[in-house]
A and B are shown apart, each in its own frame.
Chain A
Amino acid sequence: QLQLQESGPGLVKPSETLSLTCSVSGGSISSSSDYWGWIRQPPGKGLEWIGSIHYSGSTYYNPSLKSRVTISVDTSKNQFSLKRSSVTAADTAVYFCARHRGPPHTAMGPFDYWGQGTLVTVSS
């Protein structure tokens, strides 16, 4: 059974960089059909897709967040990471990592496995 687990600081100061890691267990992050995504949810608000990455290093970002977001993958550790620079209070949210499937060997799939989420608060 695939499991995902987010980790990282729960408190980040304004203007600093938010850094989170998602550890994948029960399967390989290097599967050619799997894509690994970050989704966030501000308190009391809805879900927002941040971006996804393939083990090959190909990245895809939400156009509205792209300028200050970097997603990377470490296949040796079976992990992928999110960095969001110059954070503000608006970046306070629960951050989820999740898997979805996609090309080249299968059609685009939904977010079928999720981590439990981690709350990141931006405050001085």
Chain B
Amino acid sequence: QSALTQPRSVSGSPGQSVTISCTGTSSDVGGYNFVSWYQQHPGKAPKLMIYDVSERPSGVPDRFSGSKSANTASLTISGLQTDDEADYYCCSYAGSYTWVFGGGTKLTVL
């Protein structure tokens, strides 16, 4: 079970859009529609932002959206705000009640 692959960092200016990719295999991302995304500010617990590939929990702005194609999932944040600056992690179900996380992406809002 290897960690999912995410870019180490991405950046964007306020108001712009950014997309973070998350690449796995047919045994995790490609095999199930149970991909979730988490936002983590320094010193804080992760916060669920997207689940089941593209569903948003109550209270998460619709600026956050998710998608998946084959073995790669993506998180898109539109209308970037300074408070969006954080680390983002993808997570996928990997079968047999196991989970795998991505290595994390640091989003910088310039």
> In the complex the two chains form, is A46's CB within 8 Å of B98's CB?
no
In angstroms, Cα B48 to Cα A118, docked, is 19
> In the complex the two chains form, is B46's CB within 8 Å of A47's CB?
yes
Within 8 Å CB of B24, what residues of A?
none
**How far is the CB of B19 from the nearest CB of chain A, in Å?**
19
Count of A interface residues, CB-CB < 8 Å: 27
B109 CB-CB contact with A under 8 Å: no
Within 8 Å CB of A64, what residues of B?
1
Within 8 Å CB of B104, what residues of A?
45-47
A36 CB-CB contact with B under 8 Å: no
B93 CB-CB contact with A under 8 Å: yes
Which A53-90 residues have a C-beta within 8 angstroms of B?
A: 60-64
> In the complex the two chains form, is B91's CB within 8 Å of A110's CB?
yes
A115 CB-CB contact with B under 8 Å: yes
Q: Which residues of A contact B (CB under 8 A)?
A: 35, 37, 39, 45-49, 52, 60-64, 96, 100, 102, 107-112, 114-117
14 pairs of residues in contact across A and B, judged by CB atoms under 8 Å: A35-B97, A39-B101, A46-B3, A46-B104, A47-B91, A47-B104, A49-B101, A52-B97, A64-B1, A100-B99, A111-B91, A114-B45, A114-B47, A117-B45
